[in-house]
Amino acid sequence: AQSVTQLDSQVPVFEEAPVELRCNYSSSVSVYLFWYVQYPNQGLQLLLKYLSGSTLVKGINGFEAEFNKSQTSFHLRKPSVHISDTAEYFCAVSDLRRGSARQLTFGSGTQLTVLP
C-alpha cells in the first residue's frame, strides 16, 4: 500500500517570492512521483514527474522538484511565483511494477495563494 502526505494544506506567499510545497510518501515498492496542478473547476494538469535518473526534475511554468529517496520526499519549488500560480497542487505516486496501470495515490492537496 502507498500513502502520500502533503504537509501544508494552505500556503500563502507574496508575488515574486520563492515557494516550497512539501510532499512525503511511503511505499513498500518503488514508485513514480508526480506533481499535478488544478485550477478551479478544472481537471488536473501535469507539472512534472520523476520516473528515474536525475533526482532534480524540471517542469512547466518554472517549477522544479527534487526526489530524495532516503527521506522519501518529493518537494516542489519555484524561485519566484506569479499571481497566475494561484491554484491547488497535488503530489501523487504510482506503482512502478512493469505492466501495471497507472492508478495514482494522491495527497490531500496544497492550496497555493499568491498575494500581490
Partner 1 sequence: DGGITQSPKYLFRKEGQNVTLSCEQNLNHDAMYWYRQDPGQGLRLIYYSQIVNDFQKGDIAEGYSVSREKKESFPLTVTSAQKNPTAFYLCASSIVGGNTEAFFGQGTRLTVV
What SS3 class is residue 62?
Answer: helix
Residues numbered 32-61 forming contacts with partner 1, rule: CB under 8 A: 32, 34, 36, 41-46, 49, 51-52
Residues numbered 57-86 forming contacts with partner 1, rule: CB under 8 A: none
Using CA atoms, how far residue 81 sits from 16, 18, 30, 69, 96, in Å, is 5, 6, 32, 27, 32
Q: In this complex, which beta carbon is closest to partner 1, that of residue 17 or of residue 56?
A: 56
Q: How far apart are CA 84 and CA 75, in angstroms?
A: 20
Residues numbered 8-27 forming contacts with partner 1, rule: CB under 8 A: 9
Grid cell listed for 111: 492550496
Q: Does 94 bind partner 1 (CB under 8 A)?
A: yes
- What residues make contact with partner 1 under the rule CB under 8 A? 4, 6, 9, 32, 34, 36, 41-46, 49, 51-52, 90, 92, 94, 98-109
